[in-house]
Amino acid sequence: MDLFDLLTLVGGLSLFLFGMNIMGSSLERRAGNGLKYILGRLTDNKMVGFLTGLAVTAVIQSSSATTVMVVGFVNSGLMTLNQSMSLIMGANVGTTITAWILSLSGISGGNFFLQLLKPSSFVPVLALVGVIMLLSGKNSKRKDTGMVLLGFATLMFGLETMSGAVSAIKEVPAFQEMFLKFENPLLGLLIGTLLTALLQSSSAAVGILQSFALAGLVTYGASVPIILGMNIGACVPTLISSVGANKNAKRAAMFHLCFNVIGAAVWLVVFVVLKSIFAPAILNAFANPFGIAIVHTSFKLLCVGLLMPFTNAMEKLVCKLVKESKTPEQNVELDGRLFKAPALALDRCRALMEEMAEEAMNSITLSLDCLKSYSEASAKKIQGMEDHTDHYEDIIGTYLVKLSSLKIGEEESMRAAEYLKLLSDLERIADHSVKVVDAAREMNEKKMVFSEDAVREISVLTKAIRHITLLSYNAFVNADLDSAFKVEPLEQVVDYLKEELRMRHIRRLQKGGCTIDAGFVLNDILTSMERVSDHCSNIAGCVIDSSMHNLNVHETLNEYKHNSDKFDKAFEEFMKQYQLPA
């Protein structure tokens, strides 16, 4: 052994870990989003949940990513603790697909078909195709596919390089003695746990073990406890992700740990007993990559078979280990762990935005009521609603900006941009409700009254405002295009009513029928109502744009206003419906 052998080993390991990271992250972006969406939905049935967790993890090649997402789902209230258990068990089994792929490196033989399955035969081709797709790709999906192929080629090359370096140094006595010590089950368990905890990836740890097996350094007797330990070490990312989460999310992470620790403990005892009594010869045989994959998968399946019937008991156990808080907890409104599933993160944002829309629409409705009958209790309630919408705008806006800064798909980017535009309009509607109630308060404190004509005219306008807010709310919450297309014609009617009311007030003022102070208050009310209708128009425009996969609101609305018989007809109908008294 010399310095160059050591450098080759380190270089091979680096390429292997880098390739696995690139392939995993690219797979998450390219193929994982739809599966992650399913992950948050199909969990009512234990077997369905198990198979869903298995499928998602097999595709994105990372049980850590899946379990971290599950912790996020539980923390956000999207999933119960009981539902998360079957998903975590499925993720544990799904991660073994990586070991089976890496076991191809151990194929030997002169048969033509076996030669084709050897990585040395197809990896160069995959690397070439990956480079072509990466350089020529015009969209993110094509580029991500290229990165998946390049990542796979890199990790396989790193595995081969690492195995070659190990073969060169395996004759070193100190190296051989080290692996002989791994025959001790407890030491092997500890080594597997520490290695996986350090790498934070059981797939990477198993891959390294397979490279040593390929070099003829590891026996089955040593590999079994090491693999058991790797499954315990795989819990570290999940435990880290649960820091700062609520109790149920911590329990989901604790279940992952308990599941793997109990499984490892039970099967380690079985292994030691069988080894002591029967001393099977196979345990002294050198393992190969294919055998490592079999051991890894068998252990995972045996753990599921052992513990799945006792999930209810396991739930009680983790509830005892992570006890209830003395103070009640609330689900986190928006959880950064959901960034790994952009579609679900956006769904969560939309759910909160629908709550925000309801607050905003209720606040403007209540403020219009205050114009007729002012009460301080209603004014305080409206201010509370406005504060709540400010809070929503702050947390959702910050969350969407962070999400948009990540590498997400084009569809998710468009949704995030749409939601950011909608946030401002919803918040401004609540702001104007406060301005309307401020005007009502001023009138109440100063004992001001409008003329009877002004009261009747304002009543027509408030009815139009109630109508337009209801239409825009339905358009957004229910994705109702019929309601969305009615908003802009009604907004034009509101603009007309505002100007007409202003002109009528001026004429009354000139005749001495209204006071100047009342005129200032009326102007504030009219301006706020007109601004509310503008924001309703923006909301409806976003809904229409979303249906057309376009983000240019002004272009869409201008086209609709100037080139649509439907618009003209709706405008005429609303003009008749909201006709001012003579």
Long-range residue pairs from 521-526, CB within 8 A, at least 24 positions apart, any chain: 521/439, 521/442, 521/443, 521/448, 522/450, 522/454, 522/458, 524/435, 524/438, 524/439, 525/371, 525/436, 525/439, 525/458, 526/461, 526/498, 526/501, 526/502
The one-letter code for the residue type at 543 is V
Helices (H), 185-307: 185-199, 202-214, 220-233, 236-241, 247-278, 289-307
How far apart are the C-alpha atoms of 357 and 351, rounded to whole Å?
10
What is the model's pTM? 0.73
Bridge partners of 219, per DSSP, are 286
Question: In this predicted model, what pLDDT tens digit does every residue of 228-282 receive, in sequence order?
Answer: 999 999 898 888 888 877 888 889 999 999 999 999 999 999 999 988 888 788 8
Task: Tell me the per-residue pLDDT of 277-304, one tens digit each, with 9 for 90 and over.
Answer: 887 888 888 888 889 999 999 999 999 9
**If you average pLDDT over residues 471-489, what whole number do you get?**
94
> Cα–Cα distance between 118 and 120 in angstroms, integer?
5
> In this structure, which long-range contacts are made by residues 378-384, counting pairs with CB atoms below 8 Å and at least 24 apart in sequence?
378/437, 379/437, 379/440, 379/441, 382/433, 382/434, 382/437, 383/434, 383/437
Nearest CA-CA partner of 199 in 105, 98, 100, 104: 98
Judged on CB neighbours under 10 Å (0-12, 13-18, 19+), 170 is middle
Which tokens in the block code for residue 251?
A: 């329990």
DSSP-derived letter for residue 512 is T
pLDDT at 141 over 80: no
Query: How distant, in Å, are the alpha carbons of 209, 220, 263, 300 from that of 275?
Result: 21, 11, 18, 20
Residue recorded with tokens 């309703």: 536
As a whole number of angstroms, the distance between CA 505 and CA 454 comes to: 7
- Choice between 331 and 338, residue whose per-residue pLDDT is larger: 338
Class of domain 337-577: mainly alpha
- Going by the DSSP 8-state scheme, the letter that residue 377 receives in this structure is H
Residue 67 has pLDDT above 90, yes or no: no
Cα–Cα nearest to 334, from 389, 402, 386: 402
Between CA 67 and CA 84 the distance in angstroms is 9
Domain boundaries, the chain: 3-321, 337-577
Handedness of CA 419, 145, 155, 192 (dihedral sign): positive
Question: What gap in Å lies between CA 112 and CA 121, rounded to an integer?
Answer: 11
Q: Which residues are CB-neighbours of 206 under 8 A, at least 6 positions away? A: 98, 99, 102, 227, 230, 292, 293, 296
Distances (CA, A) of 448 to 480, 521, 522, 539: 41, 9, 11, 35
Q: Which tens digit of pLDDT belongs to each residue from 81-124? A: 888 899 899 999 998 888 888 887 766 555 655 555 666 677 78
